[in-house]
């Protein structure tokens, strides 16, 4: 059996994984920096870079221990080269270069968003293609067509905040904590999604980009109108606002997926990225797929949030395509994961 080492350090999780060629995950160690960033209610890039540098050797040793393997057993090393935070990316890429050089192994730079898509193929194996893939995280909100050869075509993306970022900002406004997604998700389950109004994002140029900054502004207006009511973090107003916001975010995401399906036939619907952990989105996504007679593939929570197993999985795909990088591999903070753009049109 051949094994590939995956390294992920693009944002605030330091992760190293070992994934076999048959898709089995031998190790997937994730060291979260939530403790470091929590006091600031958001990721502080400078702190993230330093924490990666400090944590990565121990994460590597634990991954090798969990896998019961050593570097000589690896066939290649895949590392996230972008998009992400500059200082954070550099830690992973330089660590990967050191290992590749020391052991004489091939090095493969991987796109982080492509990794989120690969997580679905890692988990489910065969997925009927072409498919539509919605990747929603703290940094990205993208809708892709996945071609038969697994190339990604961009249909639409966010023109401002990412969906997860909007969750994190609402949580910050309500003084709930970081990361906000899971906190809002939990509160929303006990709230009334019809209490607060959130209008659908609309652009004068007719663009079908995703947009979440308007929802954030609408939420802050609701809070400003009655600040007293929002003091209790478990109060009715907070729960109802969480539920109304969550319903609006999911409605907006699924509206675009529906348009994508109207535009071009797909064989399956894929959902990945950290926000794929959201309970309401998972249920609604399944329901949409069912109403269209399509199978839904949703990554499990462990493979939805940032992890290196997905980077190793994408590394395997590229390895089989013959991709190899040199030791001068550079990081690219705004690397694109798609081969072509075919923007959504109103149908
Ligand atoms: O994919 P990920 O780990 O990192 C990025 O690539 O950004 O996603 C993290 C994001 C955070 O914004 C977090 O609040 C959000 O995913 N998230 C959620 C949930 N769990 C994590 N958002 C909504 N509901 C959740 N249950
Ligand atoms: Zn991510």
> What distance in angstroms lies between residue 260's CA and the mean position of ligand 2's atoms?
22
Pocket of ligand 1 (CB under 6 A): 11, 137-139, 164-165, 167-168, 179-182, 185, 273-275, 277-278, 305-306
Of the pLDDT bands very low, low, confident and very high (cuts 50, 70, 90), residue 68 is: very high
Asked whether the domain spanning 129-294 has the same topology as the one spanning 3-117+303-337, the reply is yes
CATH architecture of 3-117+303-337: 2-Layer Sandwich (3.30)
What percentage of residues in the chain have a pLDDT greater than 70?
100
Q: How confident is the model at residue 204 (pLDDT cuts 50, 70, 90)?
A: confident
Terminal alpha carbon distance of the chain: 49
Closest atom of ligand 1 relative to the 116 alpha carbon? 1
User: What's the mean pLDDT when you consider all of the chain?
Assistant: 96
Q: Where are the beta strands (DSSP E) in 193-335?
A: 268-272, 296-298
Tell me the per-residue pLDDT of 265-292, one tens digit each, with 9 for 90 and over.
Answer: 999 999 999 999 999 999 999 999 999 9
| Segment 74-110, tens digit of pLDDT | 999 999 999 999 999 999 999 999 999 999 999 999 9
* Nearest atom, ligand 1, residue 139 CA: 7
pLDDT tens digits, 211-253: 999 999 999 999 999 999 999 999 999 999 999 999 999 999 9
Domain assignments of the chain as residue spans, ordered by start: 3-117+303-337, 129-294
Give the β-pairing of 340-341 and 296-298: unpaired
Which ligand places an atom closest to the C-alpha of 314? 2
pLDDT value of position 205: 87
**Mean pLDDT, residues 302-321 taken together:** 98
pTM over 0.95: yes
Cα(228) to centroid(ligand 2), Å: 36
C-alpha 307: how far from chain center? 10
Least confident span in 33-47, 185-199, 319-333: 33-47
Select from 3.40.718.10, 3.30.420.40, 3.30.980.10, 3.30.450.20 the CATH code of 129-294: 3.30.420.40
Radius of gyration of the chain (CA): 20
* 145 within 8 A of 42, measured Cβ to Cβ: no
Instruction: Give the pairing of strands 131-136 and 268-272.
Output: parallel
Tell me the three state secondary structure of residue 25: strand
Q: Is cis: bond before 141, omega within 30 of 0?
A: no
Q: Which atom of ligand 1 is nearest to the CA of 137?
A: 8
Nearest CA to ligand 1 atom 22: 181
Higher-pLDDT residue of 207 and 268 is 268
User: pLDDT class for 116, splitting at 50, 70, 90?
Assistant: very high
Does residue 206 have a pLDDT over 90?
A: no
How far, in Å, is the centroid of ligand 2 from the Cα of 316?
A: 18
Residue nearest to atom 10 of ligand 1 (CA): 138
The string of DSSP codes covering 150-184 is: --EEEEEEBSS--HHHHHHHHHHHTT--SSHHHHH
Would you state the pLDDT for residue 62? 98
Query: Pocket of ligand 1, candidates 42, 181, 300: which has the most ligand atoms within 8 Å of its Cβ, to mutate?
Result: 181
């Amino acid at each position: 059996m051949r094994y590939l080492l995956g390294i992920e350090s693009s944002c605030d999780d330091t992760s190293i994984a070992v994934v076999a060629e048959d898709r089995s995950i031998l190790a997937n160690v994730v060291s979260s920096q939530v403790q470091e960033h929590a006091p600031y209610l958001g990721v502080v890039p400078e702190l993230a870079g330093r924490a990666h540098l400090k944590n990565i050797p121990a994460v590597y040793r634990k991954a090798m221990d969990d896998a019961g393997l050593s570097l000589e057993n690896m066939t290649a090393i895949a590392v996230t080269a972008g998009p992400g935070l500059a200082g954070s990316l550099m830690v992973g890429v330089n660590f990967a270069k050191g290992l590749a050089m020391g052991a004489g192994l091939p090095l493969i730079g991987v796109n982080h968003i492509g990794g989120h898509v690969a997580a679905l193929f890692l988990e489910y194996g065969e997925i009927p293609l072409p498919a539509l893939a919605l990747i929603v995280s703290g940094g990205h909100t993208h809708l892709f067509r996945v071609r038969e050869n697994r190339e990604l075509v961009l249909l639409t993306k966010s023109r401002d905040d990412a969906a997860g970022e909007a969750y994190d900002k609402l949580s910050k406004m309500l003084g709930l904590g970081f990361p906000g997604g899971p906190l809002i998700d939990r509160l929303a389950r006990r709230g009334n999604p019809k209490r607060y109004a959130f209008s659908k994002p609309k652009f004068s140029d007719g663009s079908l980009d995703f947009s979440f900054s308007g929802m954030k502004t609408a939420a802050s207006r609701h809070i400003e109108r009655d600040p007293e009511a929002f003091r209790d973090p478990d109060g009715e107003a907070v729960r109802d606002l969480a539920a109304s916001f969550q319903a609006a975010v999911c409605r907006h995401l699924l509206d675009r997926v529906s348009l994508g399906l109207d535009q071009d036939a797909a064989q399956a619907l894929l959902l990945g990225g950290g926000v794929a952990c959201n309970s309401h989105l998972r249920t609604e996504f399944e329901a949409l797929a069912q109403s269209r007679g399509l199978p839904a593939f949703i990554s499990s929570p462990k493979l939805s949030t940032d992890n290196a197993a997905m980077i190793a999985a994408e590394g395997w795909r590229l390895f089989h395509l013959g991709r190899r990088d040199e030791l001068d591999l550079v990081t690219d903070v705004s690397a694109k994961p798609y081969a072509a753009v075919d923007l959504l049109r109103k149908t």
